[in-house]
Structure formats: structure tokens, C-alpha cells
Structure 1
């Protein structure tokens, strides 16, 4: 699979397998094994998903060499703060059965219990990220759900600019201003929930025409949309047939007019996540 180069020259596969809500033990373990088997080498998980041990078991049972995988996890909201990060990373490493992470993210910018000072909280949390990066335990570091002001807080006060920002990107939520800011600062965007609008956008006559035109499913069109915006989509399914469908997106290209349609498409049910709210 092709890769995108992060700011530290590390290569990240341009399509990832997500594990959110995969909490059924058998489905999660088999899902990870199947994903690796069909060609996914980029595995995205998080402490908050409460399934890191299952993901780790799936990786172990897959038989793949650790060096052939790109594994991402994320810091729990309740584990923010300089003094808590190292312990949290150690627990994640133990659950996943590895001694390093290819990418580690701050999961959410504004968390409960920090007395409304998210600026200091994120800077102190990030300071611990930087130390673990310099030690080689975290090979790359980034954030998730950060808007421009959250990113500027780190860029202007810390040593290392986040290398990745994982946000929601799909037709209906394109976040152009944030996208441009990330590009200007050499921050790669990952997209979670890239298939979220599939039910509604499938009803569009234009999309039905695209399916015939390209010989692809709506899911494949949505994933290809993100790729052509230089965004790394993270897919999620426990069904092997869907995995095979999701990875078969490298043999076609959406033309400019159809990309414009996707970029302009809107729907009342799809709004930018409110990352001003505190989360526990």
C-alpha cells in the first residue's frame, strides 16, 4: 500500500483499519486478523475504545511481523496531564503487546476536570508526548479532533508540531479552513467515519451515476474522495467482504466535476463535531 510521509519522514499507509466500537471479543480479534490478511497494515485504536487487548490479540494471531504494521492509539481524556501520560502509554503498550507505537494522539482537546484551562492542559500533556517521542517509544505524535486554535496553542508553545490531526472528513463535513491550516503546517489529516453519509448520499441520482461510471460502490467512492483530498481515511467493519471492498480503491480516480459535487454536497444531519465541549 502507498504511504504518506509525516513531518519526521516516517511513512504512514494511506488507508487505515479502525476499531471503534469493536468490543465483541471474537469479532474484534477476527476483524483485525481479516483486515491484516486482506492488506491493511495501518491499525487505528484507542484506550477509550476499551478493546486494545483484543486488538493486540488479533495482531498476535495474524502472524504478521510488528515492523510491517503501523499502529496508532490515543490518550484517554481522563489521563491528560504531564504526570499521567507515561503510565497510560505503558498500559497501552502492554495491552497491544508491543514496545512502541507508530503514532499516538491526544484524543480530545477539552476535557473535564481541568478548570477550564485547556491551553495549559494540552501543553503539559504534549510535553510528555514530546519526551516519549524523543525516547523512541512513540515514533510519531499527533492529535485528534483539534481545531485551529487548539493546534496553534501547541505550535506556538511547544517544541514539536503535531504530525497528524485525526478529524471527521467526508462529503457534508469537509472542514476546508482547518484542512488548509494543517497543510500549511505539514500536519497530515486522518479521517474517521469517512463512510458516515453513505445512507443519505446513496440516494443522490448523481452518485448513482458515478457508481455506473466508475464501476465502484458508494463506500469506495467516499473513501476515494478522502484520498484525493490528501486525507488518510480510517475504515471500520468486522466483515471481511467489506474490508476487501474498502481496500479496492487504488485503481480509479474521481474526476474534477464529481469531486466538486462531493465537496459541495450538504445535509442537515452532518455537522462539524463540537470540540468546544468538555469530555470525560
Structure 2
């Protein structure tokens, strides 16, 4: 059962993981190809009260992010820091080494959450299932060692999660998947909740595509909010940990103003009707 706990330090709700740790329901996402800004991260931490930052080895900004965290002056223990293992590093020994290298680049002694970034292993001559299971065993040991306070996956579908479940051991604490008004994988959300896996959504604005939809614009006018605030509020109100990305301080500030009000049930239902199955990022359905 997912429970919501208040966070006095953040004025932001937190979602309880199955192991008792709490993850802030709102975070700041980063990405590659211009998706990182030192100024923006420092601003988010110092001025907006953000205490959850998501990155990945793939994005190439772990070292810069570590420096921004230090510059912000926010104590490490107050920040929920997520990074991800790229498939090129899948495998038992290579996964362990990659985790320690990410910690070194970030300048931290531990990660709050470490995710397998993608279900495809990209290892020739071996099945995806075999490599995923071996990699997950490495993450379980990193978790047991305390190097990761929580472990999980990203872009995994029900079939991929069922495989890990069959292996035994630690059930993923988090599954991070594309989630926005046009991509609402509710069967996957329900499965995760049934299995005690916290569902985390990325691309809540559908890379800007949601910001011009008439229904969302009408709701923005009704509530006196921006279209991005409506999308993020809708995601959070669905109980989804949400990590909008931005490199602009004013946008980050805007994206944080999503608490203290609720969308009406009828408006939540109207947003639910926007699902058309489109994806703006990864396409994991073809991965065996």
C-alpha cells in the first residue's frame, strides 16, 4: 500500500517505498543534449525547496550535478538523488563498477535510488532476460551493502517486471515510466501498486505537446494556473512521483507551484480521456 507522508522541509508530499524510505512526489529531471543547467539546479535547491533530483550516466551530467549540490549548500542527507545504469554497463561486475563510478562522479557515498535505465540489455549473444536477472542481482547486492538506499527500474513493462519477480529477492522499489495526459499506462500503474512498486512518471508535459491542448488550456484558465501546472498537478493527484525537466529557473519555480489545491474529479476524468497512446520518448514494447 502506498502511503503519503508530509515533508516539513519541502512542503511537498512524499511517497513511502516498500522499504520504509520516502521519496518526494515532485522532483527535478535532467537529461542530455542541453537538458542540464548548473544555475537551474542550484536555484531549484536553494529557492524552490526541491529535494529530489533525477539524473543518469547517459545524460553525462553527474559530475556537474554533484558540484551544483555542493554549491547549493543543502545538506546531502536532505536530497533524494536518483541516477541510472546504462545498458552498456549491464552485467554483474560491470553494474557494480558503474554504480561506484556514478557515486564518484556525483561526489556522494551513496545513492538514494539506482535504476536500470532500459529493459533491453544490448549484450550480443545473451538473452535480455539472462542479462537483466544478472544485473538485478548486482543491484540487490549494492542495496544490501547500503550503497543504494533503494533500487528500481525504468521503462519496464509488466512482462519485464514479472521476470524479476520470478527471480525472487528484492522487488523493485520504483518503476520510472513515461506518463502524461497522452500516455497513461494505467494497467502498468495498477500492477506496480499491487506489487508494492512506486510508479514514477517522466515527461509529464509530453515534451511540450500537452501545453497547447484545448482541454488543458481550458483547465488552466479555470484554475488560474499555467498549462504545465495543470499537467503536473494532474500527475501528482494520480499518486505518481513526477519529475518535470527544465533548465530555466522561472519555469522550475512555476512547476513547483502545484500544491495547496486540487483538480475536481470531473476535471481529472476529462484529463483521463486525453489518453491516445502516443509516446514522446522511449518505446519499450518491442523489447523481449
The 2-side partners of 1:96 and 1:191 are apart by 23
Deviation at 1:49, TM superposition (A): 0.5
Match of 2:30 in 1: 19
What's the TM-score once normalised by structure 2's chain length? 0.91
CA deviations over 1:161-211 (Å, ceiling 9, x no partner): 00000000110100011111001001111111111164455241x333311
Map 1:149-188 → 2, pairs under 5 A: 149-188=159-198
CA deviations over 1:2-53 (Å, ceiling 9, x no partner): 21100000011010101112658xx622121011121110010000001111
The 2-side partners of 1:191 and 1:176 are apart by 12
Instruction: List, as ranges, runs of 4+ consecutive aligned residues in structure 1 with deviation greater than 3 Å.
Output: 197-201, 266-273
2:113 corresponds, among 103, 117, 131, to 103
Deviation at 1:254, TM superposition (A): 0.8
Map 1:120-131 → 2, pairs under 5 A: 120-131=130-141
CA deviations over 1:46-75 (Å, ceiling 9, x no partner): 000011111111111111100010000000
SS at match of 1:121: helix
2:21 corresponds, among 10, 14, 25, to 10
SS at match of 2:148: coil
Match of 2:71 in 1: 61
Match of 1:216 in 2: 225
- Determine whether 1:44 maps to 2:57: no
1:262 corresponds, among 257, 268, 271, to 271
Conserved? CA contact 2:202–2:242, under 8 Å: yes
The 2-side partners of 1:243 and 1:225 are apart by 17
The 1-side partners of 2:26 and 2:256 are apart by 8
Map 1:63-102 → 2, pairs under 5 A: 63-102=73-112
Conserved? CA contact 1:114–1:121, under 8 Å: no
Task: Extract unaligned runs of 5+ from structure 2.
Answer: 1-11
SS at match of 1:235: coil
The 2-side partners of 1:5 and 1:192 are apart by 19
Task: Extract unaligned runs of 5+ from structure 1.
Answer: none
Deviation at 1:274, TM superposition (A): 2.2
Conserved? CA contact 1:143–1:164, under 8 Å: yes
More displaced stretch, 8-17 vs 194-203 = 194-203
Conserved? CA contact 2:114–2:150, under 8 Å: yes
The number of aligned residues is 276
Conserved? CA contact 1:202–1:208, under 8 Å: yes
Match of 1:237 in 2: 246
Conserved? CA contact 1:171–1:263, under 8 Å: yes
The 2-side partners of 1:120 and 1:270 are apart by 28
What's the TM-score once normalised by structure 1's chain length? 0.93
The 1-side partners of 2:210 and 2:110 are apart by 40
CA deviations over 1:139-178 (Å, ceiling 9, x no partner): 0000000000100100111300000000001101000111
